[in-house]
C-alpha cells in the first residue's frame, strides 16, 4: 500500500524492571493508512498501550525500543532526537489518554493548556492562540466555551475533560491520532457521545486514528479493521465481521466469546473446553417460598442526603427474595453505589427503612452494625480488587478475618478447613493462599474478594461493580462463578453495575436509577429488549453492541 501513513515493522519493546528485562512488545508489524481508523484490541499486559507510547515516543525511562522500525511518512520515529521529535509530537501525531482528568494539568486553566499546545507549533500571538483555543472548544462541542476557557479540570466532568483532551490533541491538525482507551471509565452514554465526536472529527479532518481499547465491541463499532494483540504479539488482524463470525486464532475466539453481547448467556462467555468443568452443576429448581414468609430484603422509601442538601437517593423501595439476583444500573451520580452501601449498612440512610429477614435494620447505626447478627448475612464485594484487600494480609488472612470476627472462629485446623473450603468454592488454587495481594493477578484478587465475602455464608451478597477493573476473559470467569454460587448456595445477589450487558445476563430483575430515583424496573430481558422510558432506551442504545447480521453487513 502506497498510502500508508504509519508503518510499524517488527517492533520490539522491553522494560527494565527489578526482576529483569520484560518484553512488552515482541515483534509486531502493522500499517495505518491515511484517514483510517484502526482498532488495536487486547487485554491488560498485551502491549497495546506500549505500542502506542512507542509510536509517540512517550515510553517512560524504563522502556526501550529494542528492535524494529516505526516509519511515519517514511521517517523512522525511533531514531528522532530533540527538535525533530518535538516537531512531530503534537503537530504530526498526538495522543489521547485513558484517565482524562489526570491527563490535564490540575492547576492550569484549560484554555491556557490548549493555547500552550498551539503556541508550541505555530508562531502566532497569545491572543490569536486563545482565539484558536476557543474555536477548538467549540469544535469539541463544549457548552458555553467562553466561560469554560478559564475553568480548571476539577470543575469539569470526566466526559468534558476528555473533550478538552481531544481539543489539545487535534489543536495542530495532526495526521495521526492515537487514542489509548479514550472512554474507559466514562459512563456508557458519555462514552458514546465522546466516541462519536472523536470519529466525526477524525473523519472531517482526515486524521488517521488508532483506537487502543480492551473493548472489542467498541472497536467493532468504530473501526473497519481490528488488530488483536496478545502478550506482545498481533495474533489476528481482520475486519470486525470476520473477527466475530469466523475468528481464526484461539485467543480471538476466547476474547470474542467472553465479550458480552445483547444475546449472550453466562454459559456462552467461555469456550467449550473451559465450559466442561462447570457444566456439572445443574440448576436446582428453587422451591417456592412458603406462603407468608417475609421477603429476604425489603427496602422502604430509602433516602440519603449529604451535607449540601440535595438528595443523593430519594424514595427508593425494593424487595428481594432469597436466591434472587437483582441488578442496579445507572450512570455515575445516579446513586446506585450510595444505595448499595446503605443496604450493606456501611452508611446511614437519612430516611426510610431497611427490613432484612423480617427485622428492621435501617435504624442500627452503620458504626454499630458490625455487632449485629445480620452482619454476616449481608456481605459486600468491592469494585476494585486491588484496593479492597489489605496489602499486609495474605489471601488466607483476608478470608479468615471475617470468620474470626463474625463467626467467632479461632485459629487452628477448623479455621484452615473453612478457608480452604471457601477458596475451593471460588476456584482459587490452595497454594495461592499464603500469597500477598501484590503477588496475585487481578482475577485471583477478585476471587479472594468473593471468597472473603462468602466465607460467613451470607444470604445477601452486594456486588459493587465487581468486574469493572477486570479483563473480559477474567470477567467471564468471575460472572460464571457468581452465577454458580447463587444457584448452589441460594445467595441473593444485588449487582451494582454500569455494564448493562453483564446485568442482563446475571440478573433476573433490573432497577434503573437516575439522579437518585428509580426510573424503571422489571424483568431484565423484557426491560432491555423493550425499554419503556427514554432514559433506559438511551442507556441500552449506548452499549457498544457487537452487531451481527444485517446491521453490520449494511455498514460494510
Partner 1 sequence: MKTGLGATMVRAGRRLLSSLPALFGVLVFTFLLMRVLPGDPAVFFASGPNAGKEEIELIRKQMGLDKSVPEQLVFYLSDIGRGNLGRSMMTGQPVLKDLRERLPASLELTFTALLIALIAAVPLGVVAALRPGSAVDHGVRLFCALGVCVPTFVSGLLLIYVFYYLLGLAPDPTGRIDVFTSLPPSRTGFLSIDFLLAGDFEGWWAACKQLILPAVSMALFVIAPLARITRASMLVSLGSDFVRTARSVGLSWHKVVVTYALRNAILPVITIAGIVFSTMLGANVLVEKVFSWPGVASYALDALLSSDYAPVQGFVLLMAGIFVLVNLIVDVCYGIADPRVSIE
User: Can you give the binding site for partner 1, defined by CB under 8 A?
Assistant: 56, 58, 60, 85-91, 94-95, 97, 99, 102-108, 116-117, 120-121, 152, 154-155, 165, 168-169, 171-172
Q: How far is the CB of 530 from partner 1 (least distance, A)?
A: 42
CB of 206 to partner 1, least distance (A): 19
CA dist 55 and 59 (Å) reads: 9
* Complex with partner 1: residue 33 or 58, whichever CB lies closer: 58
* Secondary structure of residue 267 in the 3-state scheme: helix
Q: Reduce the DSSP state of residue 22 to 3 states and report it.
A: strand
* CB 422, CB 399: distance < 8 Å: yes
Q: At closest approach, how far in Å is the CB of 91 from partner 1?
A: 6
Task: Give the 3-state secondary structure percentages of the chain, helix then strand then coil, rounded to 5.
Answer: 40, 25, 35
CB of 326 to partner 1, least distance (A): 36
32 or 479: CB nearest partner 1: 32
Q: Are 514 and 334 in contact (CB under 8 A)?
A: yes
For residue 259, give the C-alpha cell.
Answer: 465479550
- What's the min distance (Å) between Cβ of 216 and partner 1? 25
Query: What is the DSSP secondary-structure string of 35-98?
Result: T-EEEEEE-TTSSHHHHHHHHTT---TTEEEEEEEEEETTEEGGG--HHHHHHHBTTTEEEE-S
> Minimum Å distance from CB 296 to partner 1?
40
CB-facing half-sphere around the CA of 188: CA atoms within 13 A:
23
| Cβ atoms of 546 and 217 closer than 8 Å | yes
- Residue number, 176 or 462, with CB nearest to partner 1: 176
Q: Which is nearer to partner 1, 136 or 381 (CB)?
A: 136
Smallest distance from partner 1 to CB 106, Å: 6
Choose between 172 and 199: whose C-beta lies nearer to partner 1: 172
Nearest distance from residue 117's CB to partner 1, in Å?
4
* Calpha distance 230→234 (Å, rounded): 6
Alpha carbon distance 176, 51 (integer Å):
14
Rounded to a whole number of angstroms, the minimum distance from the CB of residue 129 to partner 1 is 13
Which stretches within 457-533 are classed as H helix? 472-489, 500-506, 524-529
CB 23 within 8 A of CB 9: no
CB of 544 to partner 1, least distance (A): 25
Distance from C-alpha of 480 to C-alpha of 8, rounded to nearest angstrom: 39
Measured distance CA(552)–CA(221) in Å, rounded: 9
Query: Residue 265 belongs to what H/E stretch?
Result: none
The nearer residue to partner 1, 61 or 280, going by C-beta atoms, is 61
d(CA 352, CA 299): 8
143 and 157 Cβ atoms separated by less than 8 Å: no
DSSP state letter for 532 = -
The C-alpha atoms of residue 314 and residue 334 are separated, in whole angstroms, by 11
**Nearest distance, CB of residue 115 and partner 1, angstroms:** 11
Which is closer to partner 1, CB of 172 or CB of 432? 172
For 207, residues 6+ apart whose C-beta sits below 8 A from its C-beta are 35, 170, 173, 174, 175, 176, 177, 201
Smallest gap from residue 116 Cβ to partner 1 (A): 6
Cβ proximity to partner 1, 172 vs 415, nearer residue: 172
Our CB check for partner 1 shows the closer of 105 and 439 to be 105
Closest CB to partner 1 among residues 88, 460:
88
CA neighbor of 454 nearest in space, from 480, 493, 416, 417: 493
**Which three three-digit cell numbers place residue 159?**
466526559
Nearer to partner 1, 50 or 234 (CB): 50
* Number of helices followed by number of strands (H, E) in the chain: 21, 20
Strands (E), 321-392: 325-329, 351-356, 359-360, 378-381
Contacts of 22 (CB under 8 A, 6+ apart): 14, 15
Is 89 or 444 the residue whose CB approaches partner 1 more closely?
89
Rounded least distance, CB 362 to partner 1, Å: 30
By beta-carbon proximity to partner 1, the closer residue of 116 and 315 is 116
Amino acid at each position: 500500500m502506497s498510502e500508508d501513513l504509519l508503518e510499524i515493522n517488527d517492533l520490539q519493546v522491553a522494560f527494565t524492571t527489578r526482576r529483569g528485562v520484560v518484553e512488552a512488545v515482541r515483534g509486531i508489524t502493522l500499517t495505518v493508512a491515511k484517514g483510517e481508523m484502526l482498532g488495536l484490541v487486547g487485554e491488560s499486559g498485551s502491549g497495546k498501550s506500549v505500542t502506542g507510547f512507542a509510536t509517540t515516543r512517550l515510553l517512560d525511562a524504563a522502556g526501550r525500543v529494542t528492535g524494529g522500525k516505526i516509519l511515519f511518512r517514511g521517517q523512522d520515529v525511533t531514531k528522532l532526537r530533540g527538535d525533530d521529535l518535538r516537531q512531530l509530537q503534537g503537530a504530526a501525531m498526538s495522543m489521547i489518554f485513558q484517565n482524562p482528568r489526570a491527563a490535564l494539568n490540575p492547576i492550569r486553566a484549560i484554555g491556557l493548556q490548549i493555547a500552550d499546545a498551539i503556541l508550541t507549533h505555530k508562531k502566532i500571538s497569545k491572543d490569536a492562540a486563545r482565539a484558536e483555543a476557543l474555536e477548538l472548544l467549540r469544535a469539541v462541542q463544549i457548552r458555553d466555551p467562553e466561560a469554560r476557557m478559564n475553568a480548571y479540570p476539577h470543575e469539569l466532568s470526566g466526559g468534558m475533560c476528555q473533550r478538552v483532551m481531544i481539543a489539545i490533541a487535534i489543536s495542530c491538525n495532526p495526521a495521526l491520532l492515537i487514542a489509548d482507551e479514550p472512554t474507559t471509565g466514562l459512563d456508557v452514554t458519555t462514552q458514546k457521545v465522546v466516541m462519536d465526536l472523536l470519529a466525526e472529527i477524525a473523519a472531517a479532518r482526515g486524521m488517521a486514528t488508532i483506537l487502543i481499547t480492551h473493548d472489542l465491541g467498541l472497536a467493532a463499532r468504530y473501526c473497519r479493521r481490528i488488530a488483536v494483540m496478545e502478550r506482545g504479539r498481533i495474533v489476528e488482524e481482520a475486519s470486525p465481521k470476520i473477527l466475530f463470525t469466523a475468528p481464526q486464532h484461539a485467543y480471538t475466539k476466547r476474547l470474542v466469546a467472553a465479550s458480552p453481547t445483547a444475546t449472550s448467556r453466562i454459559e456462552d462467555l467461555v469456550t467449550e473446553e473451559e465450559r466442561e468443568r462447570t457444566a456439572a452443576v445443574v440448576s436446582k429448581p428453587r422451591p417456592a417460598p412458603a406462603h407468608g414468609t417475609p421477603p429476604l430484603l425489603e427496602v422502604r422509601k430509602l433516602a440519603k442526603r449529604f451535607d449540601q442538601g440535595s438528595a443523593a437517593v430519594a424514595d427508593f423501595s425494593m424487595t428481594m427474595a432469597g436466591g434472587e439476583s437483582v441488578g442496579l444500573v445507572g450512570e455515575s451520580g445516579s446513586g446506585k453505589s450510595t444505595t448499595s452501601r446503605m443496604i450493606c449498612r456501611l452508611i446511614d440512610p437519612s430516611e426510610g427503612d431497611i427490613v432484612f429477614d423480617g427485622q428492621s435494620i435501617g435504624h442500627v447505626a452503620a458504626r454499630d452494625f458490625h455487632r449485629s447478627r445480620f452482619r454476616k448475612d449481608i456481605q459486600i464485594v468491592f469494585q476494585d480488587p486491588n484496593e479492597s484487600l489489605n496489602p499486609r494480609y495474605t489471601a488466607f488472612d483476608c478470608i479468615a478475618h471475617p470468620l474470626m470476627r463474625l463467626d467467632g472462629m479461632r485459629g487452628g485446623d477448623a479455621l484452615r478447613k473453612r478457608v480452604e473450603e471457601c477458596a475451593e468454592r471460588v476456584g482459587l488454587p490452595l497454594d495461592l493462599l499464603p500469597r500477598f495481594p501484590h503477588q496475585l493477578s487481578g482475577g485471583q484478587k477478585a476471587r479472594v474478594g468473593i471468597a472473603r465475602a462468602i466465607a460467613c455464608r451470607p444470604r445477601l451478597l452486594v456486588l459493587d461493580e465487581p468486574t469493572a477493573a477486570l479483563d473480559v476473559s477474567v470477567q467471564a470467569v468471575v460472572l460464571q462463578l457468581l452465577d454458580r454460587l447463587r444457584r448452589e448456595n441460594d445467595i441473593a445477589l444485588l449487582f451494582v453495575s454500569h455494564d448493562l450487558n453483564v446485568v442482563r445476563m446475571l440478573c433476573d430483575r433490573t432497577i434503573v436509577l437516575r439522579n437518585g430515583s428509580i426510573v424503571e424496573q422489571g424483568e431484565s430481558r423484557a426491560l432491555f429488549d423493550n425499554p419503556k422510558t427514554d432514559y433506559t432506551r438511551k442507556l441500552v442504545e449506548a452499549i457498544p453492541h457487537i452487531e451481527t447480521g444485517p446491521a453490520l453487513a449494511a455498514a460494510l
